[in-house]
Each structure stands twice: as structure tokens, then as C-alpha cells.
Amino acid sequence: MERCMRKDCLLTELYLQLVKQTTDHPDPNSRVNLRHWALLSLACSVALPPHKPLRRYLIAHLKRCASDYVTEEGKYARFAEKCLHRTQGTRRRQWPPSREEIICTINRRYYTYFLSYSRYKNQPRVIFVRFIINFLWVVVRMTLLFFC
């Protein structure tokens, strides 16, 4: 994934191969097919296809496959579509995804960090940092013992 992020021609080839592998698979719930969908979801969460025609083709492919509400393939297609739409609003990533992010993406889960610190003795603060593939959402919850 790291090499594909650096070169547009490799990223294009990766998307074309993944679309080919996930199109009209004879057994949509097979382990191999679901691995291809997991990799496509990860690619959609990391970097967009560099060319607009390929991006439109990918969106059409995901929409067509997401209309299947019976199989796991449809669930992965909907998840990959959400990842793609979230990635469209961000800048291009410089670093490859971490191992934890890859595992969470494969399992279609959130990626969460918990950081805590206390500036003052009476004001403990907890910061929840929640990753949804490319987005970093910071939700700060303050617990104040004495509210002024």
C-alpha cells in the first residue's frame, strides 16, 4: 500500500485489479472474495484513484455492488463507499495506514485511541480520539468537580 501511495500508476493498477477481482464473483460470500473487498475498502480509505474517470467507474462499481443487501459483499461495498466519500474531503495521506487501522478496516470497525491527562488536580480531562479510516474526530469530554 505504501508503494501505491507514492506512485499514481501503481495506485491506478491497484484499483483496476481490485475492481476486476470484486466484479461478478461466483461465490459472493467466499473468504477470498471478502478479502478482496476488505483490501478495496482499505484502499478507498487511504487514497483516491488519481484519475477522475477511474474514480467515477469505482463509484459506479461500489453503488452497483452495494445494492445487494443479502450478502457480506454488499456490506463491504457499502462500507467501501462510505470510506471513499470520507476520503474525498481530505488531503492525500503521506503515511501508510497502521496495523491497527488495517485490522479495524478489515473488520469494518472504528479505530479509537484513548488519551488522558490532568492539567489541574481538580479537573481530570479525557480526550477521545476516534479514527474512521482517514478522519480524525476529536471529542473532548471534561469532567469538572467544581463548575464555576
Q: What is the pLDDT of residue 130?
A: 41
Q: What is the pLDDT of residue 111?
A: 59
pLDDT tens column, 34-44 = 999 999 999 99
CATH number at residue 38: 1.25.40.530
- Look up the pTM and report it: 0.72
Regarding whether 58 and 20 lie in a shared domain, the answer is yes
Regarding whether 118 and 49 lie in a shared domain, the answer is no
Show the cell assigned to 4.
501505491
Q: What is the pLDDT of residue 88?
A: 87
Regarding whether 54 and 117 lie in a shared domain, the answer is no
Structural domain harbouring 135 = 111-142
Q: What is the pLDDT of residue 62?
A: 96
Residue 148 falls within a domain, yes or no? no
Regarding whether 18 and 86 lie in a shared domain, the answer is yes
Regarding whether 116 and 62 lie in a shared domain, the answer is no
d(CA 127, CA 116) in angstroms, rounded, equals: 6
Domains: count for the chain:
2
Q: What is the 3-state secondary structure (H, E, C) of the chain?
A: CHHHHHCHHHHHHHHHHHHHHCCCCCCCCCHHHHHHHHHHHHHHHHCCCCCHHHHHHHHHHHHHHHCCCCCHHHHHHHHHHHHHHHHHCCCCCCCCCCHHHHHHHHCCCCEEEEEEEEEECCEEEEEEEEEECCEEEEEEEECCCCCC
Per residue of the chain (148 residues), what is the pLDDT tens digit? Answer: 888 888 999 999 999 999 999 999 888 889 999 999 999 999 998 899 999 999 999 999 999 999 999 888 999 999 999 989 988 878 788 888 888 888 888 888 755 554 444 455 544 444 434 444 333 333 333 443 444 4
Residue 147 falls within a domain, yes or no? no
Regarding whether 79 and 27 lie in a shared domain, the answer is yes
Q: What is the pLDDT of residue 103?
A: 85
Regarding whether 94 and 69 lie in a shared domain, the answer is yes
Regarding whether 117 and 92 lie in a shared domain, the answer is no
Residue 92 falls within a domain, yes or no? yes
Q: What is the pLDDT of residue 131?
A: 43
